[in-house]
Amino acid sequence: MKIFDIKPSDKSIETNLQHKIDFKTKPVGALGKLEDLARQIGTIQSCLTPVLTSPTVAVFAGDHGIALDGVTPYPQEVTFQMVMNFLNGGAGINVFSKQNGLSVKVIDAGVNHDFAGIENLLHYKVNYGTRSFLKGAAMTADELKECIGKGANITNEIFSGGCNCIAFGEMGIGNTSSASMLMNYFTQINLEDCIGRGTGLDDQGLNKKIGLLKSAAEYHGEISSWNEIMQAFSGYEIAMMTGAMLQAAENKMIILLDGFIASTAYLAAFKLYPAIKDYVIACHLSDEKGHRLLLEYLGLSPLLNIGMRLGEGTGAAVAYPIIKAAVSFLNEMASFESAGVTNKS
């Protein structure tokens, strides 16, 4: 599997960044989390005047065999239908990205549909959906390796277009089940605490989902190997996002983390390369059960908590103006000296 070279961000510049932040025409700390963001982005870019260029949302789509076992009320074909909606500009991620100046790239990681001849879609299909993990592994070792490598290639393709700020979104009916299993196995947090309503299960549906995922855990038993956990439970879109995030950190790009599914891809990346944490901004707290515990486990504090749970990268797109505001105040707000304003004694 691909080896990544992920170095911690440049902490040597933090003192100078903090001095610049503190001497803006404001009380120390008055801009709260914007100040933390400005400092983080400055260290990522090793620069006192950071910039955001060609911000892009990469939306990875894939189907899941587990979706056919009753964990979701939606049929599997919704995945490819939503991919077409993305390409036609009609989805939530299209609306919020257009509003806030982000580009959208849609990736077929493993949708159970033939997209031959479809333009504006990045064709990286590994297979036509994973296998159900109720009685076997969702993917093979070779497929996992392929996902990681293709994810890295996608990031490099976006990076070569001038992007230094990349958000990650996803689409895949059944993928909250995969994410819940990954969260449980990587963190050892109680499985029921990792399982939510996904695309809107009622109480009966949720209980069925919990029962099925518990059965899967009993079947697979204890697994400690990173590769085996990913092969057992991941979706192609989740694994491909993992490789894409790792490459983004190697490229020293700002990584904008969306909700529950994207966070489990990041969890997998973090387990391999903890230094990726320096490059990640948690954009929002999903209303999907498990996300709060996962962010706490990862030591990440979300920018927004507005009850969203759509996926697609929408939380990142909605949060982007806050990230832009952090860079803007750092670069454009006057200092006490330049403005001729008396600082505190």
- Averaged pLDDT for residues 275-304: 97
Tokens of 20: 């610049």
In the numeric block, the tokens 């189907």 are attached to 63
Q: pLDDT-derived band of residue 338, with 50, 70 and 90 as boundaries? A: confident
Which of 69, 188, 196, 85 minimizes the C-alpha distance to 136? 69
Q: Please state the separation of Cα 77 from the chain's center in Å.
A: 23
Tell me the pLDDT tens digit for each residue of 9-66. 999 999 999 999 999 999 999 999 999 999 999 999 999 999 999 999 999 999 999 9
Nearest Cα to Cα of residue 291 among 273, 274, 309: 309
Question: How far is residue 46's CA from residue 311's CA, in Å, rounded to a whole number?
Answer: 31
Per-residue pLDDT band for 273 (boundaries 50, 70, 90) equals very high
Mean pLDDT of the chain, nearest integer? 96
Q: Which tens digit of pLDDT belongs to each residue from 53-89?
A: 999 999 999 999 999 999 999 999 999 999 999 999 9
pLDDT reported for residue 97: 98
Nearest to 181 by CA among 64, 7, 55, 283: 64
Q: What is the reported pLDDT for 336?
A: 78
The reported pTM is: 0.96
* Statement: residue 345 has pLDDT above 70: no
Cβ–Cβ under 8 Å, residues 262 and 169: yes
What pLDDT was estimated at residue 200?
82
Asked if residue 261 has pLDDT above 80, the reply is yes
108-156 confidence digits (pLDDT tens): 999 999 999 999 999 999 999 999 999 999 999 999 999 999 999 999 9
CATH code for the domain defined by 60-319:
3.40.50.10210
Q: 56 with 158: CB under 8 angstroms?
A: yes
- One-letter amino acid at 147 equals C
Q: Which of 199, 200, 194, 202 is nearest to 178 (CA)?
A: 194
Predicted pLDDT at 340: 81
Q: Give yes or no: 218 in active site.
A: no
The set of residues, in sequence order, having a beta carbon less than 8 Å from that of 89 and lying 6+ positions away, is: 98
Q: Of the residues 35, 312, 332, 337, which is catalytic?
A: 312
Q: What is the mean pLDDT of residues 301-310?
A: 96
Taken in order 42, 47, 48, 49, is the CA torsion positive or negative?
A: negative
Torsional sign, CA 86, 92, 93, 98 = positive
What confidence tens digit (pLDDT) does each residue in 163-193 have? 999 999 999 999 999 999 999 999 999 999 9
- The backbone region for 142, taken as left when phi is positive above 0, alpha when psi lies in -120 to 50, beta otherwise, is alpha
pLDDT value, residue 337:
83
Rounded Cα distance between 219 and 115, Å, is 34
CA-closest candidate to residue 163, choices 241, 240, 104: 104
